[in-house]
Amino acid sequence: VSYMDALVGNIISALESTGQREKTIVIFTSDHGYHLGEHDLWQKVSIHEESAKVPLIICVPGKKPAVCNSLSELIDLYPTVSKLCSLKIPGNNQGKDISAMLDDPTVKVRDAVLSSGKGRLLRTEKWAYLDYGKTGELYNMEKDPKQYTNLFSDPKHAAILKGLRDQLKSKLNVIGQNDLNPNR
């Protein structure tokens, strides 16, 4: 992220030197993270935090730089850019406008985000639920941000697991009701 941040600075400098800065929104992100030995894994081979969490830099003329740790999804970029460019956001769009985070980095737009690959990840501020069908993983991200202690089979967390499963099912139902789903 530090390297990417430095390169964004180079691009901003180039925009300033050519007079384009005040009319250009710059966004940098990635479609996935990357394991560098965490969990004994390399590359993007899981839905753990290292693969699911991605950098997101949004640089808008007139906005002060800030760090925001609120949850968002890549589908949120379309309505956000639309709003920043004063374009109409279609009603059937599943993304959420996160532009308020640019003025106040404490703003929360989502209570959970979804990632999929070899399973599905439902990530809230406190919990990471990795669903593999009949099995899974559950991590308390406040106490275990590196995801070392799997609480999936711990009876003390059964109610939390059920709530996250229900939340995942609900989110998947909403996603299934979009215009790309031929079975709706």
Mean pLDDT of 143-155: 95
Residue 7 has pLDDT above 90, yes or no: no
In angstroms, the CA 178 to CA 85 distance is 24
In angstroms, the CA 36 to CA 28 distance is 21
Strands 56-59 and 113-117: unpaired
* pLDDT, averaged across the chain: 85
Q: 107-141 burial, b if ≥16 CB within 10 A, otherwise e?
A: eebbebbbbeeebbbbbbeebbbbbeeeebbbbee
Nearest Cα neighbor of 120 from 159, 172, 157, 155 is 172
**The residue count for the chain:** 184
pLDDT at 156 (0 to 100): 98
Strands 119-123 and 113-117: antiparallel
- Angstrom CA distances, 172 to 116, 118, 122, 166, 184, stand at 11, 16, 10, 10, 13
In angstroms, the CA 117 to CA 38 distance is 17
Mind listing the pLDDT tens digit for each residue in 14-57?
999 999 999 999 998 876 655 455 555 555 655 766 666 677 88
Instruction: Give the domains, in start order, of the chain with CATH numbers.
Output: 1-60 (no CATH), 70-110 (no CATH), 111-184 (3.30.1120.10)
Q: Which two tokens stand for residue 59?
A: 């640089």
pLDDT at 184 (0 to 100): 45
Q: How confident is the model at residue 109 (pLDDT cuts 50, 70, 90)?
A: very high
Nearest Cα neighbor of 25 from 101, 99, 75, 106 is 99
